[in-house]
Structure 1
Amino acid sequence: MSERTTALVTGANKGIGYEITRGLGALGWSVGVGARDEKRRAAAVERLCADGVDAFGVPLDVTDDASVSAAARLIEERSGRLDVLVNNAAITGGMPQEPTRVDPATVLKVVETNVIGVIRVTNAMLPLLRRSAAPRIVNMSSSVGSLTRQSAPDADRTAGPVAVAYAPSKTFLNAVTLQYVRELSGTNILINAGCPGYVATDLNGFQGVRTPEQGAAIAIELATLPDDGPTGKFFNDAGVVPW
């Protein structure tokens, strides 16, 4: 059993997830690289270990019950508990996503990964998180999921493109986050949503203006909150994001 603080990051073989893993590993933590692609996962673990990170691969498809259950068993056998869960895995569903043009199957596919996947993984990992002295759950969201920003007069400038699958999936995720906060109120589990900003990743064709390392910073901050830190909030690097 590992005596180190143990974290699991989903969607961790590249981009923001990889940098979250690297950042938590730099703290001396043992970090599970959750990813469904075996070759990319192994390559990420190899790179991280070469940089001195105590990284280990976790085969994980957030849309598959059996895969998630197996991931929970792997972490239990290796560490006996889980201290931090970062739900980072997400898809955009591709563009265009105007509501009058979208294939409803696209919406379902995005929600399955971005929302149901978070519920599936969180519920599987909760028994392990409850064994931690300072459990933290970080749900990687986006400011495009903010209803306040989507309904603002300048939404075309500040809320991203019209995207009836991706943006509402993050709104849904935010709502789900708050329901977990309500249910787990009174426990020592701190649960927050984080927005990485517009990061250059393959999700947006590398059009973003921030680096993955910059995008990972908010997740690392929320993963390392003190015991009296906030819960049930939505943050980016500048502070609180309106729901």
Structure 2
Amino acid sequence: MKKVLITGANKGIGLETAKQLLQKEFYVYLGSRDLNKGKEAIEKLKQEGLINVEVIQLDVTDENSVRAAREEIDKKTDSLDILINNAGINGGSPYTALESSSDQFMAAFNTNVFGVARVTKAFIDLLQKSPEPRIVNVSTSVGSLSLQSNPSWPAYDFAKYAVYGASKAALNMYTIQLAYELRETNFKVNAVCPGYTSTDFTFQNGGDVEVAGSRIVKYALIDKDGPTGKFFSEETNPETGEIPW
């Protein structure tokens, strides 16, 4: 049975992604900063008959928590097939570049960028033991420099979230660098925007979480001929999915 670790998976898109991979007969390590909330999420899944899942306490902003999560998973498996770096925060308001505080930037980067780097580094050797390892970094079209600077982009005048956008742009660069370093291996590493989705993150505005989850799952399951080092947003580009950095 293939195994996947998903960070920030106790609710929203992360939980839906876990659900869909469980339905595809994966074993899921459900990363949750709050262990009790993770246990509640597990119970919901098990009530649906999805039993191959367990919660892992994982705060991506805490080096000790990441290390402990690795030690816990070490007791259970000697390899990992997929890592989905889903945990993220929007940085909070105010959202503008001139009004946002340095603390907002620090918090967002700690979760959205440094957290991804922490977790990826901690689990990379387990992934290397998989014949077809996959890494999906959950990003957003809001982090595209090309789109943000293009007045013709439909979201040009309202998708201006300086803290969140800057952190996700940095995550995108990390994705490019990681994919490059792993280019001569069987890894596939991509940044995926699940789209504007109705969750707590968006105050229940946006599209269906099932669609968002399916977009992440699609790139987590790409075959050996699939893309790597790319940025996808099927909401932005329904034809090919790929969007500019």
- TM-score under structure 1 length normalisation: 0.95
Partner of 1:203: 201
Partner of 1:116: 114
Amino acid at match of 2:17: I
Cα displacement string for residues 110-160 of structure 1 (whole angstroms, at most 9, x for unaligned residues): 000000000000000101000101100000000000111100114573474
**Aligned counterpart for 1:212 among listed residues 199, 202, 209:** 209
Q: Residue 214 of structure 1: CA displacement?
A: 1.1
Partner of 1:132: 130
Q: Secondary structure at the match of 1:58?
A: strand
Cα separation, 2, equivalents of 1:29 and 1:49: 14
Cα separation, 2, equivalents of 1:79 and 1:123: 17
Cα separation, 2, equivalents of 1:97 and 1:146: 17
Partner of 1:72: 70
Cα separation, 2, equivalents of 1:79 and 1:159: 47
Q: Secondary structure at the match of 1:31?
A: strand
Q: Residue 105 of structure 1: CA displacement?
A: 0.8
Cα separation, 2, equivalents of 1:195 and 1:159: 19
Q: Secondary structure at the match of 2:84?
A: strand
Partner of 1:229: 226
Cα separation, 1, equivalents of 2:158 and 2:184: 36
Q: Is the 8 A contact 1:193 1:233 kept in 2?
A: yes
Cα separation, 1, equivalents of 2:81 and 2:74: 11
Q: Secondary structure at the match of 1:168?
A: helix
Q: 1:67 to 1:159 in 2, by over 3 A?
A: farther
Partner of 2:244: 242
Q: Is the 8 A contact 1:84 1:136 kept in 2?
A: yes
Amino acid at match of 2:232: F
Cα separation, 2, equivalents of 1:52 and 1:75: 23
Partner of 2:90: 92
Q: Which moved more, 1:231-240 or 1:109-118?
A: 231-240
Cα separation, 2, equivalents of 1:47 and 1:204: 22
Q: Secondary structure at the match of 1:85?
A: strand
Query: Where do 1:20-169 residues align within 5 Å?
Result: 20-53=17-50, 54-155=52-153, 157-158=155-156, 160-169=158-167
Q: Residue 178 of structure 1: CA displacement?
A: 0.3
Q: Secondary structure at the match of 1:119?
A: helix
Q: Secondary structure at the match of 1:193?
A: strand
Cα separation, 2, equivalents of 1:48 and 1:198: 24
Gaps of 5+ in 1: none
- TM-score under structure 2 length normalisation: 0.94
Q: Secondary structure at the match of 1:133?
A: coil
Q: Is the 8 A contact 2:142 2:160 kept in 1?
A: no
User: Superposition RMSD on alpha carbons, in Å?
Assistant: 1.3
Gaps of 5+ in 2: none
Q: Secondary structure at the match of 1:165?
A: helix
Percent sequence identity over aligned pairs: 41
Cα separation, 1, equivalents of 2:159 and 2:185: 38
